[in-house]
Amino acid sequence: MPTLPLGSVVIPAHNEATTIRRCLDALLVGFAPGELDVVVSCNGCTDGTANIVRSSWPAVQVIEVTKASKPAALRVADEALSVFPRIYLDADVVLPATSARQILERLRTGPALAARPPASYDTKDAGAVVRSYYRARSRLFSLKRCLWGCGAYAVSAAGRARYDVYPEIIADDLSADRWFSRSEIEIIGSEPSVITVPRRVRDLFRVLRRRYLGNVQIQDLPESPELTTQSTVRDLMAMVMSSPGAAVDAAVFSAIVTAVRITLRISPSADWNRDESSRIPTTTST
């Protein structure tokens, strides 16, 4: 008799023809047919992302949404799936199958209601300033207790029942995170999700502008938590005290964050602001 899948995965994708292969290859390599329900929710795609998925992974369900909207893609995908636990995975992020399985199995048995994998940053193609920023970010202890920031998070059926459909905001992971206490979230996985970072400072600015706009939108929602920088400041001060190199990284991190927030006050644009540099295929030598 056929058995229910172990869980499901939602992958919202907007023009991800250059990244969707690495995402799905890593996710699906460790699962047997029928063991995982996967939906790639293409939104506003004009680059053939949907056709790539259909031709290479026939078992993966593809949904096409006309509007370029991640929240819309998430809402439509949620309606198409019924199996929990459920992973929400960005199309430009690599989540190893081993960790995906561990997350789903853990959420099936509890007691956690939500989870995410550990995260790592692929900085090999980034400039020195960008690498410094991400070295500092990886040391922020306050970010290690949250669902957001690693391009992948998961919820059990009871966890997903905590909140309604995704609102029309940028930061879906931050929106989901606000419904859980820190004790209800676990960091699970023997292998981290891999986030390819922007290559240049101006590309990083685009990513951070979008992230901080999402923070503002969260604060405007009913029952949203007060978002503060106190814990981040404490973490940065600890870095400054730890070593000269870490102090330099902390200073770079602070300078970039401050500059981005100033630009948002001057020009609070809500444009897509997506970094394209991390989506450029890397040429490797053999």
15-34 average pLDDT score: 95
Per-residue confidence band for 172, with pLDDT thresholds at 50, 70 and 90: confident
Q: Which of 158, 204, 203 is nearest to 184 (CA)?
A: 158
Out of 15-19, 64-68, 139-143, 215-219, pick the least confident. 215-219
Report the range of poorest mean pLDDT among 18-32, 38-52, 155-169, 262-276. Answer: 262-276
* Helix, strand, coil percentages, rounded to 5, for the chain: 45, 15, 40
**How crowded is the C-beta side of 85, counted as CA atoms within 13 Å?**
24
- Kind and range of the H or E run holding 284: none
* Euclidean distance between CA atoms 186 and 107, whole angstroms: 9
Half-sphere exposure of 210 (CA within 13 A, CB side): 15
What pLDDT shows up at residue 2? 52
CB 192 within 8 A of CB 186: no
Higher pLDDT, 21 or 174: 21
Reported as a single tens digit per residue, the pLDDT across 73-129 is 999 999 999 999 999 999 999 999 999 999 999 999 989 999 999 999 999 999 999
What is the structure's pLDDT at 285?
37
User: Which stretch of 35-39, 61-65, 211-215 has the lowest confidence by average pLDDT?
Assistant: 211-215
| Residue 184 to residue 203: CA distance in whole angstroms | 34
Q: Is the pLDDT of residue 206 over 90?
A: no
Report the alpha-carbon angle 108-112-114, nearest 5.
90
Say which residue, 155 or 264, is predicted with more confidence. 155
Give this prediction's pTM.
0.89
Residue 282 clears pLDDT 80, i.e. is over it: no
Q: Before 111, cis peptide (omega within 30)? A: yes
Average pLDDT along the chain? 87
**pLDDT confidence of residue 224:** 44
Percentage, residues of the chain above pLDDT 90: 63
Distance (Å, whole) CA 70 – CA 260 = 23
Is the pLDDT at 261 greater than 60? The verdict is yes
Dihedral sign from CA coordinates of 268, 148, 17, 256: positive
Burial class (CB in 10 A: 0-12, 13-18, 19+), 103: buried
Q: For residues 174 and 213, give the distance between their C-alpha atoms in angstroms, rounded to a whole number.
A: 12
Closest CA to 169 of 119, 218, 130: 218
**How do residues 213-256 score in pLDDT, each as one tens digit?**
766 666 555 554 444 456 677 778 888 888 888 999 999 999 99
d(CA 158, CA 180): 11
Does domain 7-276 bear CATH number 3.90.550.10?
A: yes
